Amino acid sequence: MAPNSIARETVIPAATLTFLRQALRKEAGALGATHALHGAGYATGRPVLDEFQRLLGELAANSLDPNRFWDRLSGFFSDRGWGSFVHERVHPGLAVLTSHDWMEADENASESQPGCAFTCGVLAHLLSSVAGGPIAVLEVTCRSRGDDACRFLFGSEEAVHDLYGHLLEGATLEQALLRT
């Protein structure tokens, strides 16, 4: 990546991610599209983190008190048109970011699966970098499939994988959290 490209930003309509998801699903299938968008999001996480860190100045993101970190990060995304979120710990080692206005979701869609794979990738890179170790991100509800909000659950890869297994077995999020 060229040195100047990291600091550059561009504004595109939020619907662009919906159009990309639709085109990728048509060409690569639902699973291929999800993997491609997650991978692109993960790669995008680095410049997003760099810009967030630049705005923090001399403060390191991982040195902020947790409440201040989540407030600043939500404000950072909101200021750029991504949407805002609220952070909530839901289980030892697991937390959720809840957004009622996340830009990647298409509230007019009727998806069967969550649709914010790009965001999951961005958050996975950003949170892993700040934490200094792997953090997995799983969207457990999405406005693209008619849910009231997008909810991004995150934590250790093992905990998220275990929870995902319970969800695949038909458990609700609340049931899955009790089993994890």
Is 110 within the bounds of a domain? yes
Tell me the residue range of the domain where 102 lies.
Answer: 13-179
Instruction: Report the predicted TM-score, pTM, of the whole model to 2 decimal places.
Output: 0.90
CA gap 93, 80 in Å, rounded: 29
32-39, long-range: CB within 8 Å, 24+ apart, which pairs?
Answer: 33/117, 34/113, 34/117, 35/117, 37/117, 37/118, 37/121, 38/117, 38/118, 38/120, 38/121, 38/124, 39/121
pLDDT for res 4: 53
pLDDT for res 6: 52
CA distance between the termini of the chain: 40
Is 5 within the bounds of a domain? no
Number of domains in the chain: 1
* CATH number of the domain enclosing 102: 3.30.1380.20
Is 58 within the bounds of a domain? yes
Is 163 within the bounds of a domain? yes
Sign of torsion over alpha carbons 38, 54, 131, 134: positive
pLDDT band at 166 (very low <50, low <70, confident <90, very high): very high
CA gap 102, 119 in Å, rounded: 9
